[in-house]
Every structure is written in C-alpha cells, then in structure tokens.
Amino acid sequence: MTDEKRVSELLPCPFCGGKASVRHERDLYLDRYQRHFVKCGSCGASGSEKIANEDDAYGAIQSVLAGWNRRSQEPDGWRLVPVEPDHGMGIAGFLEAQKLDVASLPLFDMCVRIYRAMLAAAPSPKEGK
C-alpha cells in the first residue's frame, strides 16, 4: 500500500477482521510530541508506532497507516487456512472420504484427496468463522 492511504481506507484487522482506527496519545515526557499508531477495536492488536512533534504528525500518521495496511502475500502454491478445521471443512473431508475406494488407493493418495477437499472448503480470512 502507498503512504497516501487515508484513514477511510484503513484495512480491517489482519487477525480478527475488526475495525481499526488511528490513535494519538500525548507523550508523557516530551511536550508537543505524540505517539501515533493503529489499533484494532475488537482484539486490541496494534501496529508499530511513530513519535512525532506537531509539525511532523501528518507524515507519522501516513507511515503508521501504510504499515498497518501492508499485508504479506502467500507464495504461489500456498493458502492461508484456519488453524483448526471448521464444520464445512470437516464435512468436505468426510464426503470425499466416502467417495474413495479404500481397497485400490494407497493411503497417502486418500489423505491427499481428503486434504484437498478440506482446503477447497476452507473459509477465506475475510469470511472469518
């Protein structure tokens, strides 16, 4: 994301999908300085902070916005999935297992087919639980 992001374009929390906001807190020891950071209102996750005086506040805010909005990308062939399978993933794996001919397929091949069916049914991080 670019440093020109506006507050209205702040992405949701990468951990819970909650609404995030830019926070400003006066520094306890340095008069005219504030800490600027982004914090999720749901889970409390926060991004890196910048301390700036009043003259440099805009640049500091743009920096914390860009940092919050930066997301890592999965490499080709990878997919972000839940740590624990949800109900839909379990059903997909079960249905795939019922289709398999256990007498003719090697165990590894059966596992791969069930795994792929469960991955296909996995919710995206945007869908949540």
pLDDT of residue 83: 81
- pLDDT tens, 15-68? 888 999 999 998 777 778 888 999 999 999 998 899 898 888 889 999 999 889
Q: Which domain holds residue 64?
A: 7-69
- pLDDT tens, 74-90? 777 777 788 889 999 99
Are 90 and 115 contacting, i.e. CB atoms less than 8 angstroms apart? no
* One domain for residues 58 and 80: no
* One domain for residues 56 and 105: no
* One domain for residues 15 and 46: yes
* One domain for residues 46 and 82: no
Are 47 and 37 contacting, i.e. CB atoms less than 8 angstroms apart? yes
The reply to whether 39 falls in a domain is yes
* One domain for residues 52 and 88: no
Backbone dihedral region for residue 17 (phi beyond 0: left; psi -120 to 50: alpha; all else: beta): left
Backbone dihedral region for residue 77 (phi beyond 0: left; psi -120 to 50: alpha; all else: beta): left
The reply to whether 2 falls in a domain is no
- Helices and strands, counts by H and E, the chain: 3, 3
Q: Which of 21, 40, 69 is the last residue of a domain?
A: 69
* One domain for residues 23 and 46: yes
* One domain for residues 64 and 81: no
How many structural domains is the chain composed of?
2
* One domain for residues 83 and 59: no
